[in-house]
Amino acid sequence: MNKFYDALEIRSPQQREAALFAALPGQVAHAKSQAPAFAQILSGVDAASITTRAALARLPVTRKHELLERQSAERAQHLFGGFATQAFGTAMPRVFASPGPLYEPEGARPDYWRMARALHAAGFRSGELVHNCFSYHFVPAGSMMESGALALGCTVFPGGTGQTEQQAQAMAHMRPAGYIGTPSFLKLILEKSAELQLPLPSLKKALLSAEAFPPSLRNWFTERGVTGYQCYGTADLGLIAYETEAREGLVLDEGVIVEIVRPGTGDPVPEGEVGELVVTTLNPDYPLIRFGTGDLSAVLPGACPTGRTNARIKGWMGRADQTTKVRGMFVHPAQIAAIAARFPQVLRARLVVTGEMANDQMLLRVESTETSSGLAERLQDTVRELTKLRGEVELVAPGSLPNDGKVIEDARSYR
């Protein structure tokens, strides 16, 4: 069984489906009784009847922007918008914030985000030192990966983000077996280590997420002795899917029910058709039922060649809306509107994201009646404040931006 994290990965699809939908009615009933938001959203739903995918597909989809809207409206009474079932205290040791701001709870169970399964598939094993370069500040990514590594029996160095030279030096000194973080930051660390002539012979594996991971970069890592695998998860749901040594899509996690629906609806699409990922989690602390991620993907036919029997998805294929991930952080259209709203001189604004892997760049193009450098500098400061990312600002004449309704334009190359 060392090849697999547990026996759940190799049970028959029929056994898995039966187990998931045997547990689902209880989760729906729990969400209705313990989470005020779902008491409203699922009002009139007979939880005991939600025992099939067809029954699940009749429930409403709750999308990320609705989660944000409920949190914003109900923050005085319910920090999490009425979606969480636990209160502050030992059952909820940490709270995180993603841009929006959107607040996420972390429960007290070991491997709360279920990341150990993805780490195991990437080759991590008990007794190894792991260098974790996901952020521990505000967002849950660092804690998500650390809790999974600890559950696997690893020791974790909380490297966090930034300080590339110090990261390379720490790796050279401590000799970790693997890296966890974004692919772009690993590339920067390896380039810095080469520049400083700091060999990193111990670094053999990596679990990567939060950014695109094209074959060109995977091969670049392999040439330098690092085998990288990717996983897909969110701060709301934890792990959703993970890559295996077969390199054929991402295998779904055992603790979620995934549907692919037609964007803008809750209607499942035929297998193989691209649509929005909608996820139902069996997490009792944050029981999200039919949560629309806003991400596009498709189900692959057949089973994984490794012997894992769960369904596979193609991976991240873009956004169903204009929300865009830049350097591992989501940027929302609402944030661009909030930036523009602070300046009466601004008529319209459009964020253009460009660059190639490991070199994302943001340019906020602003139609304005004022063209002073002072306005551009204040806009830059506001971009950093509201998105937590650096961006350049270009002031353009009124009427210059395309009239296509886009607030965020993703013009990056993923070749």
Any alpha helices (H) in 93-249, and if so which ranges?
116-121, 141-152, 164-174, 183-195, 215-223
pLDDT score recorded for residue 110: 95
Task: Write out pLDDT tens, residues 391-410.
Answer: 999 999 998 988 765 688 88
- Residues 104-159 pLDDT 10s: 999 999 999 999 999 999 999 999 999 999 999 999 999 999 999 999 999 999 99
* Tens-place pLDDT, residues 334-391: 799 899 989 999 998 999 999 876 688 999 999 998 888 899 999 999 999 999 999 9
The residues pairing with 33 across neighbouring beta strands, listed in sequence order, are none
Is the pLDDT at 415 greater than 60, yes or no?
A: no
Instruction: State the architecture of 324-410 in CATH terms.
Output: 2-Layer Sandwich (3.30)
Task: Identify the CATH homologous superfamily for domain 8-319.
Answer: ANL, N-terminal domain (3.40.50.12780)
Is the model's pLDDT at 47 over the cut of 60?
yes
Fold match flag (8-319 vs 324-410): no
How confident is the prediction for the chain on average, in pLDDT?
A: 94
Tell whether the model's pLDDT for residue 2 goes beyond 90: no
CA–CA gap between residue 52 and residue 307 (Å, rounded)? 25
Q: For residue 105, is the peptide bond before it cis, meaning its omega torsion is within 30 degrees of 0?
A: no
- The pLDDT value given to residue 148: 98
Cβ–Cβ under 8 Å, residues 254 and 117: yes
Percent of the chain clearing pLDDT 70 (strictly above): 98
Cβ neighbour number for residue 188 with a 10 Å cutoff: 17
Nearest to 84 by CA among 255, 289, 285: 285
Where are the chain's structural domains? 8-319, 324-410
Confidence of residue 27 (pLDDT cuts 50, 70, 90): very high
Q: Is 263 a residue whose pLDDT tops 90? A: no
